[in-house]
Structure 1
Amino acid sequence: MELSKLVNIFEQEFPPITAWSDDSIGLQISNSKSRIKNVYFTLELNEDSISEALSYSSDLIVIFHPLIFRPLSTITTDNRVGNLVTKLIKNDIGLYAIHTNFDSHPYGTSYELCKQLGFIKSKFLVPDDNIDGYGMGVIIELKNSIKLNELLEKVTDICNSPLKYNKGRTENITKIAIIGGSGSSYIPEALNQGCDVFITADIKYHDYHSVEGKMAIIDPGHYEMEQFVPMAIKNILKERLEEGINLIMGSVLTNPVNYYPQHNYKESQIKYLNNYKG
């Protein structure tokens, strides 16, 4: 399939208008190949993921976290972005980023974690103003309440991570909001909608204080919430692409965060990737 046709399908499924205005999505690096045969999916790039993509003769890499987020004044190999950009260009591999336009997708980042946790999405936390059926985050309304400790066990087990959380107003949880990745700016919205718990990442210390006794916040970590995204994007696109294109799921763990004590968190994250390798 021609790269331009592939990009058109990407933009139909994940409309750029649904991304944040300051996000860096879309085709970040083109290549000289007339047809794309092998497409490699990963959350983000490091040297090992590029090496794995090369081992599959990948023509294009689809990432969630954009490699080039701000304009580059120089491209040198002595920094992470310049080094990875150089490797991609040298090996004639294209790069395409699907980021907040996947977050806002009906089956996007927050929906995917909701599904992994065994819940059913009731509605978006914040519906998109531009396109019906798109929006940021999900709200889950449970018919039968769940204890906070049960929810904590479920989240740590699915996300393969330790958790940070605060005390909410109740131990009996019936309304949950999820924003995959950094979602602290949505705390007021989750609180205003009467959520018992808000699951998101990159929460600051004083954010916990601000809702203490009003709403519990659970922070499993950024990568830990989004690790399911590449497979979700791959599965959505699989239904849209013609035969003859190989969609390859990367198995390289790109999470730069380590844990102490270890508790096998990273081993579990690697196991998840290996379950869907190739």
Structure 2
Amino acid sequence: MRVAELVRLLEQRYPVSWAEDWDRVGFVLGEPDAPVTKVLLAVDCDPATVEEAATAGADLMFTHHPLLLRGVSTLAPTTYKGRIVHRMIRSGIALYTAHTNGDVANPGVSDALAARLGLRDVRPLRPSPDEPSRGHGRIGTLPAPVTLAEFVGLAAAVLPGGVRASGDPSTPVTTVAVSGGSGDAFLADAVRAGVDAYLTADLRHHPAQEHLAGGGPALIDVTHWASERPWLDDVAAFLRTEAGVETIVSDVDTSPWTLWRTPS
């Protein structure tokens, strides 16, 4: 399969038109006619994952986060992004990104997160206006009620990188909302949905504080990388089945937070 063919296949599954206006997704780098036999999938395109792709002999990287989300005035090899681009060109690695169009897809980022947590009867937390089966976040039901403390333990067991939570540990949890990535924007949606708990990443102090003071559901905050990593397995399975390519899913944790300690 050629790069251009793989791009068309991915854009049928994750149309660029589904992305937010501010987002930058799609085909970023590479020769359209170059052959693709091996794809490395990663949350981020950074020096560590690019080196992993080069060492593995990957022809294309599929990433969730855009490398060039904001404008740059140079790609000189003396700059952070320039070094990445030059390394990929020298190694013959193409780059494709699906970001917010992957978030709202069905199945998408939050579907994979919900599945990792064992949620059933999943539906969008904030449905897309034009297609209610798609949208941001997901709401689902646990197979059986658990306490908040037990649910936090489950999240910690299946999602790497650490978990923090707020709420009464003995609170029963049956319905859960999830959102891969930064989830502040969907706090009100979780309240309206009447869920028992909301799991996401990057929750900020004041929005979380106001949410809890207003009687909102319990909050579980995981790392950004951990909340989006499960989706890569789904995309990899799709590429193996539909494109017949070999896939490698990167487990390089690109979270900037690398040291966790608890009070002694």
Same fold (TM over 0.5): yes
SS of equivalent residue, structure 1 residue 190: helix
Single out whichever of 40-49 and 188-197 deviates more from structure 2: 40-49
In structure 2, the partner of 1:214 is 216
Alignment pair present for 1:16 and 2:16? yes
Structure 1 residues 89 and 20: alpha-carbon distance in aligned structure 2, compared to 1, 3 A threshold: same
Cα distance, 1:9 vs structure 2: 0.6
1:204-259 CA distance string (max 9 Å, x none): 11122212243211101211212222222111222221x4x322333433333212
In structure 1, the partner of 2:230 is 228
In structure 2, the partner of 1:276 is none
1:80-134 CA distance string (max 9 Å, x none): 2221112112323211001111111222111111111122143111112234532
Cα distance, 1:171 vs structure 2: 0.6
TM-score normalised to the size of structure 1?
A: 0.85
SS of equivalent residue, structure 2 residue 175: strand
Structure 1 residues 33 and 142: alpha-carbon distance in aligned structure 2, compared to 1, 3 A threshold: closer
Alignment pair present for 1:238 and 2:240? yes
The runs of 5 or more residues in structure 1 that have no matched partner are 263-278
C-alpha distance in 1 between matches for 2:196 and 2:223: 19
Single out whichever of 215-224 and 75-84 deviates more from structure 2: 75-84
In structure 2, the partner of 1:31 is 31
Amino acid of the residue matched to residue 42 of structure 1? A
> How does 1:240-255 map onto structure 2 within 5 Å?
240-241=242-243, 243=244, 245-255=245-255
In structure 1, the partner of 2:94 is 94
Contact kept in structure 2, 1:18 and 1:131, CA below 8 Å:
no
SS of equivalent residue, structure 2 residue 198: strand
Contact kept in structure 2, 1:168 and 1:215, CA below 8 Å:
no
C-alpha distance in 1 between matches for 2:7 and 2:75: 25
In structure 2, the partner of 1:136 is 136
C-alpha distance in 2 between matches for 1:261 and 1:173: 27
Aligned pairs, number = 260
Contact kept in structure 1, 2:25 and 2:66, CA below 8 Å:
yes
C-alpha distance in 1 between matches for 2:4 and 2:232: 21
Single out whichever of 181-190 and 117-126 deviates more from structure 2: 117-126
In structure 2, the partner of 1:57 is 57
Cα distance, 1:17 vs structure 2: 2.1
C-alpha distance in 1 between matches for 2:181 and 2:127: 17
C-alpha distance in 2 between matches for 1:180 and 1:225: 5
> How does 1:1-278 map onto structure 2 within 5 Å?
1-31=1-31, 33-131=33-131, 133-142=133-142, 144-167=144-167, 171-212=171-212, 213-241=215-243, 243=244, 245-261=245-261
Cα distance, 1:32 vs structure 2: 6.6
Contact kept in structure 2, 1:238 and 1:247, CA below 8 Å:
yes
C-alpha distance in 1 between matches for 2:121 and 2:19: 21
Contact kept in structure 2, 1:114 and 1:121, CA below 8 Å:
no
Amino acid of the residue matched to residue 198 of structure 1? Y
C-alpha distance in 1 between matches for 2:239 and 2:132: 20
Single out whichever of 218-227 and 178-187 deviates more from structure 2: 218-227
C-alpha distance in 2 between matches for 1:169 and 1:192: 22
SS of equivalent residue, structure 2 residue 242: coil
Structure 1 residues 42 and 222: alpha-carbon distance in aligned structure 2, compared to 1, 3 A threshold: same
C-alpha distance in 2 between matches for 1:202 and 1:105: 21
Cα distance, 1:198 vs structure 2: 0.9
Single out whichever of 250-259 and 52-61 deviates more from structure 2: 250-259
Single out whichever of 168-177 and 181-190 deviates more from structure 2: 168-177
User: Larger strand proportion, structure 1 or 2?
Assistant: 2
C-alpha distance in 2 between matches for 1:216 and 1:59: 43
The CA RMSD over aligned residues, in Å, is 2.2
The runs of 5 or more residues in structure 2 that have no matched partner are none
